Each structure stands twice: as structure tokens, then as C-alpha cells.
């Protein structure tokens, strides 16, 4: 039997496409090579403690904002609960000896930073207004439709157009003079992985704007999102099949190539009218489609495509009171008080074994972000640093059977990260009861990303906006979605899936995520447990009752 759609990969993009298509009455089969769905949104457990490697916070979730409307339009909002991270400091900037908090609400952010940097007050106001204008104009582009929209688009996107070809560093330097304030405004570069000198200014505007109203963390971690999305797919008749790696996309046609199905790694072939790939362009075209089925133009483009940086992710279970030690639900960006472009170059240096600490880290305590995950004793902590993929070249042929040298290398890297954490939580090292490290090889094995990249294609000038890969390409009936297509991050990847479905269904993106007054995301304050409903209170009680010693 021929299916309407096969979707390769169950990340946020693949699942959102699956919801839209199955809801439209089409048959959908989602194939996932891992033993759990979710891609970067999946969660895993170590001795009963949950970790979510790719979901650390999400923005624009208040009623009426874009991510909230996305979840309502997909019909999954009622199945989601989020905790709003510390509104006074959802981002903690640890820059050398300086400590600066970024609060939710752009007006409050302006007041806090103006008080700290009074000489920059006027320039800061102008810069934050520019960031908001550029972001709003980016959001206008996919909504443009009809004669008058096309006539007025140049004026309505004038701020974006004026600054679209400049780097973040150039625009910040034009507006802000204080070196420390520049670092604070650029601290979220870690959310796209490029330093200010290489980052596209419009892309960074969209990212900053995404979090201007604060950060939110899903109850259940990334798995909470995945559960809601897979539930919706199945409710509409779709199927999500795990442990089903795709070996190749079946292609027919001598002149005009078209996708007609897939072959699984076990040899099974499944026919479909369309194939949607939630893997990155390199994996999709070079490995699954095959160079022989591609035009020389596309092969050339793929050879020049750069992928985002890769990372080390340290997962810890801690037997100590981290709130008493000074942590809260806000993220910590820790870095030396140095030029961020120089710092990035050092972080991506090849020999990562040298030195006793990494120069920069992102730190997140998930049991403070999601109070229902805290058992009353053990906290879970996730710390991330960016590295160069070549650091693991000597281990790339090991597969999943790792050598003693690889294990020793991981131990060395974990200790370096723990040394850095000691600056944030003195004494944390002796209170670690379990630890695990995700490496570029881990990313490749579980997520199947090119070079273990964490954000899909590199988000530089020539690979974003009009220069990015599109949902439709030169292979007929083959569509793409995911972090390399529209935008990265949970919300960006989810919207890419809606966009791919809209192309297939020949409608607009907005047609597929219509407002639904019966749907609403529930949001609670991660810092204030007193207002939680009985349902949440009961979850917290059960989690504490189930605590076991590790």
C-alpha cells in the first residue's frame, strides 16, 4: 500500500508536519532511527533522573504570542504545561568578575541595563528598538500576500533591509560603546553558536526578540513536548515508528527525479507519494538521495555548506541544595571578560584536552526549571560548551563500541567542565553522584547530525533567510524541514514542519495553525510554588515519595 507521506526523523519539524498532514486526512508514517522519538527534543533517564539535551528554554509562550499560537493551532496546547523561568533573571551573565542579570520584559531589561550603564541609556534604547523592529519585519515576510503587500514590502521591512547584510558585531559597535554592555547584549550568541563577527544581525534580532518576554521550560522536559506532539499525530491516524533507520530515499525518473518512498536499514521498502526529511541537507541529499541523483549545482552548494558548531554536554545528578547554593531557574552564561570573537576562536581550537577549564559554559538546573522533576534531594544539572568537531577525529571510526582511550578522554573533559562549575557552585564536585558526557559522536549516533552539529547549518549570512535551504528542492515530492530550513531552535524547527505541510497541502502556513479558543498552554511560575494547582502539587508529592538512593 502506498502512503501519502513518509517523514524521516521525529524532531520538532517532522512531528509538526505529521500533525498538519494527518489532521488534513493524509496517511503519515514517521520513521525514527533512535529508540525514542523527538530528535533533539527527546529526553533520557539515568537511574531515574531525566535529562533533555536539546531543550533548555523556549520563548514567546504568553497568550497571543507566536509559540503559544503555534501550539494552539497544532491542537497540542492543552497537553502542555510550562514553567516560566525567573522573571527577574532568566539569563545570568557571569562575565569575568561581573554579574549582570537579564530580566523578562524588554522595558524592564532596558531599565536594568540603563541603571548599570547610565552613559549608554540613549544608545541602548535605540538599539533595543532596532532589534524589535527588525524581528517584527522578519515575521512579516511569510505573511506577505497579494498586490499591495508586494508593493509595500520594501517600506514595511526597511529596518531589516538596511541592516540585513551586516554582522551582529558591526551593528552593535555602531550603537553601543561600552565593551561590557556589548557582551551582555551578545551573550545569547550561544543560542545560535556564532560569534558576533560571523553572526547575521537579523538572525540575532529574531533570537533576542524570541526571549524578550522571558524563558519557559516544559514540564517533563523535552519529552513533555514530544509526548504532546506524538499523541496528536496518533489521534489523527498517523504512525510514529522508532528503531526504524532509513538507509536511502527511493528515487525514480531519468530526467526529472522524484521521491517514491524509502528503504529501511533492515531492507524493507515502503512506498509513498511524498517523502519529508527532518534530517539536515547533507544527510538528506548526500547520504539518503545519493550524489548520482543530484544536479551538479546542488552538489556544489552542498560541498560549500557549513554546519554549526558541535558541543560537549555534561549531565550531572547532584546531592546538594543547589537553590541554597545560589542557583535558580535562570540560565547561567559563564565566560571570561574578553572579546567574544576571540573567545569563540579559542573555544573551537582543536586541542580541547589542554588546560584545566573550558573558557565558556552554559549552565542549567532542570530540577529548578521544572519543579515536578525534583525529588526533594537530588538535582539535575546540564552544562554545555562548544568545541570543534575535529577534536574527536581519532575516534570517529569506533562506532558505539568505544575504546579505553575514548573513555579516558571523556573523563578528562568532564573534569575540566566540573572545574568550571566549581566557580559557580563551590564544592559541587564532591557532591556529584552520577555523571555522563555527550560528545559530537553522541550527537551523531543518537541524533544523526552532520559532524555532530547542534543547530543544523551554520547561521551565517549566506545560509539564512533567502539563502537558506527551502522546504522544496530539485527532487520532486521530496520536502525538507528542521533546523536547517526556516529557523533553528524548538519553535523555529516546529514552524519549518508547518511550512513543509503547507507546501504539500497548497495552502498558507497560517491556514494550518488557525486560532483555537478551546486550546491554551498552561504556564506557572518556576520560582513560586504556592500558586500551583492541585494537579501539579500532586505530581511534586509523588516525585518526592518515589525518591530512591542512587
Instruction: Report percent pLDDT > 90 for the chain.
Output: 81
The answer to whether residue 453 scores a pLDDT higher than 80 is: yes
Same domain, 358 and 379: yes
The answer to whether residue 505 scores a pLDDT higher than 60 is: yes
Nearest alpha carbon to residue 293 among 234, 345, 241, 252: 252
For residue 398, the model assigns a pLDDT of: 76
For residue 150, the model assigns a pLDDT of: 44
Same domain, 239 and 333: no
Same domain, 141 and 200: yes
Number of domains in the chain: 3
Q: What is the mean pLDDT of residues 438-446?
A: 92
The answer to whether residue 140 scores a pLDDT higher than 60 is: no
The answer to whether residue 154 scores a pLDDT higher than 70 is: no
Nearest alpha carbon to residue 490 among 12, 140, 64, 100: 12
Q: 3-state DSSP call for residue 3? A: strand
CATH code of 488's domain = 3.50.50.60
What the block records as the C-alpha cell of 293 is 541523483
Of 155 and 403, the structure prediction assigns the larger pLDDT to 403
Helix (H) or strand (E) holding 233: helix 222-235
Question: For the segment 306-337, what is each residue's pLDDT rounded down to a tens digit?
Answer: 999 999 999 999 999 999 999 999 999 999 99
Same domain, 135 and 187: yes
Which residues, at least 6 apart from 93, have a Cβ–Cβ distance to it below 8 Å? Answer: 99, 100, 101, 102, 183, 184, 187, 333
Question: For the segment 523-539, what is each residue's pLDDT rounded down to a tens digit?
Answer: 999 999 999 999 999 99
Read out DSSP for 130-176?
Answer: HHHHHHHHHHHGGG--SHHHHHHHHHHTHHHHHHTTSBHHHHHHHH-
Same domain, 199 and 250: no
Question: For the segment 414-424, what is each residue's pLDDT rounded down to a tens digit?
Answer: 999 999 999 99
For residue 464, the model assigns a pLDDT of: 81
Structural domain contains residue 550: no
Task: From 214, 248, 265, give the residue that closes a domain.
Answer: 214
Length of the chain, in residues:
550
Structural domain contains residue 89: no
Q: Of the given ranges (50-59, 278-287, 348-357, 369-378), which has the lowest mean pLDDT? A: 348-357
Same domain, 486 and 502: yes
Same domain, 207 and 283: no
Which residues, at least 6 apart from 449, have a Cβ–Cβ distance to it below 8 Å? Answer: 279, 280, 283, 307, 443, 456
Task: From 186, 214, 242, give the residue that closes a domain.
Answer: 214
Q: What is the mean pLDDT of residues 386-396?
A: 88
CA–CA gap between residue 244 and residue 224 (Å, rounded):
22
Structural domain contains residue 372: yes
Percent helix, percent strand, percent coil in the chain, to nearest 5 = 45, 20, 35
Q: Are 34 and 59 in contact (CB under 8 A)?
A: no
Question: For the segment 86-119, what is each residue's pLDDT rounded down to a tens digit?
Answer: 999 999 999 999 999 999 999 999 999 999 999 9
Same domain, 314 and 427: yes
Alpha-helical segments (H) within 244-307: 281, 296-304
CA–CA gap between residue 375 and residue 378 (Å, rounded):
6
Structural domain contains residue 36: yes
For residue 549, the model assigns a pLDDT of: 54
Same domain, 298 and 336: no
Structural domain contains residue 520: no
Q: What is the mean pLDDT of residues 134-160?
A: 53
Of 542 and 347, the structure prediction assigns the larger pLDDT to 542
Banded pLDDT at 346 (limits 50, 70, 90): confident
Structural domain contains residue 548: no
Q: What is the mean pLDDT of residues 384-409?
A: 87
CATH code of 385's domain = 3.90.660
Same domain, 128 and 233: no
Q: How far apart are the first and last CA of the chain?
A: 49
Same domain, 440 and 314: yes
Question: What residues make up the domain containing 362?
Answer: 309-447
Structural domain contains residue 534: no
Q: What is the mean pLDDT of the chain?
A: 92
- pTM of the predicted model, to two decimals? 0.93
The answer to whether residue 142 scores a pLDDT higher than 80 is: no
314 to 11, 17, 50, 387, 522: CA distances (angstroms): 22, 31, 13, 13, 30
Task: From 169, 193, 214, give the residue that closes a domain.
Answer: 214
For residue 99, the model assigns a pLDDT of: 97
Same domain, 300 and 316: no
The answer to whether residue 296 scores a pLDDT higher than 60 is: yes
Structural domain contains residue 517: no
Amino acid at each position: 500500500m502506498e502512503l501519502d507521506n513518509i517523514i524521516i526523523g521525529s524532531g520538532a519539524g517532522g512531528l509538526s508536519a505529521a500533525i498538519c498532514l494527518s489532521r488534513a486526512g493524509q496517511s503519515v508514517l514517521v520513521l525514527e532511527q533512535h529508540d525514542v522519538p523527538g530528535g533533539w527534543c527527546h529526553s533520557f533517564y539515568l537511574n531515574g533522573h531525566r535529562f533533555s539535551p536539546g531543550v533548555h528554554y523556549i520563548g514567546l509562550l504568553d497568550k497571543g504570542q507566536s509559540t503559544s499560537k503555534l501550539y494552539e493551532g497544532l491542537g497540542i496546547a492543552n497537553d502542555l504545561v510550562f514553567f516560566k523561568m525567573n522573571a527577574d533573571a532568566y539569563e545570568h551573565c557571569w562575565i569575568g568578575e561581573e554579574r549582570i542579570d537579564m530580566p523578562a520584559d524588554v522595558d524592564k531589561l532596558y531599565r536594568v541595563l540603563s541603571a548599570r550603564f547610565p552613559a549608554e541609556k540613549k544608545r541602548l534604547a535605540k538599539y533595543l528598538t532596532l532589534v524589535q523592529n527588525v524581528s517584527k519585519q522578519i515575521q512579516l515576510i511569510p505573511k506577505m500576500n497579494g498586490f499591495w503587500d508586494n508593493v509595500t514590502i520594501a517600506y514595511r521591512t526597511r529596518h531589516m533591509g538596511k541592516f540585513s547584510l551586516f554582522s551582529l558585531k558591526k551593528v552593535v559597535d555602531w550603537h553601543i560603546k561600552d565593551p561590557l554592555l556589548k557582551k551582555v547584549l551578545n551573550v545569547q550568541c550561544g543560542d545560535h553558536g556564532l560569534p558576533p563577527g560571523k553572526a547575521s544581525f537579523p538572525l540575532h534580532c529574531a533570537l533576542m526578540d524570541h526571549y524578550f518576554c522571558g524563558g519557559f521550560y516544559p514540564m517533563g522536559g523535552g519529552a513533555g513536548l514530544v509526548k504532546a506532539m506524538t499523541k496528536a499525530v496518533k489521534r489523527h491516524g498517523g504512525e510514529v515508528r522508532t528503531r526504524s533507520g532509513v538507509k536511502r530515499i527511493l528515487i525514480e525518473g531519468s530526467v526529472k527525479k522524484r521521491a517514491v518512498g524509502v528503504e529501511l536499514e533492515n531492507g524493507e521498502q515502503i512506498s509513498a507519494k511524498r517523502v519529508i526529511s527532518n534530517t539536515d541537507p547533507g544527510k538528506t541529499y548526500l547520504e539518503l538521495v545519493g550524489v548520482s541523483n543530484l544536479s551538479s549545482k546542488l552538489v556544489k552548494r552542498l560541498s560549500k555548506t557549513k554546519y554549526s558548531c558541535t558541543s560537549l554536554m555534561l549531565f550531572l545528578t547532584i546531592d546538594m541544595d543547589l537553590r541554597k547554593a545560589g542557583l535558580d531557574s535562570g540560565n547561567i552564561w559563564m565566560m571570561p571578560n574578553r572579546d567574544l570573537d576571540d573567545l569563540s576562536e579559542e573555544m573551537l581550537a582543536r586541542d580541547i584536552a589542554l588546560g584545566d577549564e573550558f573558557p565558556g559554559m552554559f549552565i542549567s538546573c532542570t530540577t529548578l526549571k521544572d519543579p515536578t522533576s525534583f525529588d526533594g534531594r537530588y538535582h539535575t544539572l546540564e552544562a554545555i560548551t562548544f568545541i570543534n568537531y575535529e577534536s574527536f577525529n581519532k575516534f570517529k571510526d569506533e562506532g558505539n563500541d568505544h575504546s579505553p582511550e575514548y573513555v579516558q578522554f571523556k573523563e578528562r573533559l568532564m573534569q575540566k567542565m566540573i572545574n568550571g562549575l566549581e566557580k559557580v557552585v563551590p564544592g559541587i564536585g564532591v557532591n556529584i553522584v552520577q555523571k555522563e558526557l555527550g560528545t559530537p559522536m553522541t550527537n551523531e549516533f543518537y541524533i544523526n547530525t552532520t559532524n555532530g552539529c547542534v543547530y543544523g547549518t551554520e547561521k551565517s549570512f549566506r545560509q539564512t533567510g533567502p539563502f537558506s535551504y527551502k522546504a522544496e528542492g530539485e527532487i520532486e515530492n521530496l520536502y525538507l524541514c528542521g533546523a536547517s530550513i526556516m529557523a533553528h531552535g524548538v519553535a523555529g524547527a516546529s514552524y519549518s514542519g508547518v511550512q513543509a505541510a503547507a507546501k504539500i497541502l497548497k495552502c498558507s502556513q497560517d491556514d494550518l495553525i488557525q486560532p483555537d479558543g478551546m486550546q491554551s498552554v498552561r504556564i506557572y511560575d518556576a520560582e513560586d510554588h504556592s500558586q500551583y494547582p492541585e494537579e501539579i502539587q500532586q505530581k511534586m508529592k509523588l516525585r518526592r515519595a518515589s525518591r530512591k538512593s542512587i
